[in-house]
Structures are given as C-alpha cells and as structure tokens.
Amino acid sequence: MANPVAVPTAAPGPVLTKAAFRAGDLLGLTHSALARVVGLSPASISRMAAGKLSLEPGTKPAELALLLVRLYRSLDALVGNDDAMRRRWMDSFNHAFNQPPRQAIESVEGLVLVVRYLDGARALS
C-alpha cells in the first residue's frame, strides 16, 4: 500500500486576492476602481498589490471580489477571450444598467446586476 502524498494547498485569501487583481486587470480596472468595487480603501488595495495584505474569506470585500471574478469569467466566456472586446463591453453604455458596466459595478447593486445580466446572456448562448 502506497503512502499518501501530502499535496500542499494554497491559503484561500491570497488566491482570491490574486484572482481579483487578475480579473480587475483583464477588465481594465485601475487599482482605485478595484477598491471601489470591493469596498476597500485605495491604501488597502496598494498593500494587497504589494503582497502585504490579502482578502479574508467570509468578509464582504471577499464576497465582492468573488463576484468580480465571476463577472470576468462570464464575460470572458461570451467574448471568447478577446481582450479588446471585453474592455469595449465594459466601457460601452448598456441600457440594462443605464450606464457602462464599468461604472455600474462600483456599487454592490450594480455588480450583482451585471453578474446576473451576464449569467442570463450565457444561458441564452
């Protein structure tokens, strides 16, 4: 009988932090915009970018970061991994939100609305 091999696992906080930064970057968000989306101060976002702080699972900012990652994944599935189209969609006025998605996601209500919209669009495709 073989001995089980321990597989190292990454802590969820740093993984979520990295995913949120990556999603924000691919969506064309600045660090200050990312701070508004996840409800943290720009100083906290700077510390996270430097690796000195990470999101804590179970907190409101972590939940909002998860929604941002979900938004990225849904939009990416719809635009076929096209960076230019993804950013164009984020910047274009959308009648469903009455503003561009980039602005809508800066409120919790808007972030949830955009994620639901993309979920619905993916269901139709």
pLDDT of residue 6: 67
How many H-runs (helices) and E-runs (strands) does the chain carry? 7, 0
Does residue 125 register a pLDDT over 90? no
Whole-number Å distance between alpha carbons of 113 and 104: 8
| Residue 96: pLDDT band with limits 50, 70, 90 | very high
14 touches 20 (CB < 8 A): no
The contacts of residue 124 (CB under 8 Å, 6+ apart) are none
Does residue 1 register a pLDDT over 60? no
User: pLDDT per residue over 98-112, tens digit each?
Assistant: 999 999 999 999 999
User: pLDDT per residue over 62-94, tens digit each?
Assistant: 999 999 999 999 999 999 889 999 999 999 999
The contacts of residue 47 (CB under 8 Å, 6+ apart) are 53
Whole-number Å distance between alpha carbons of 122 and 85: 16
Residue length, the chain? Answer: 125
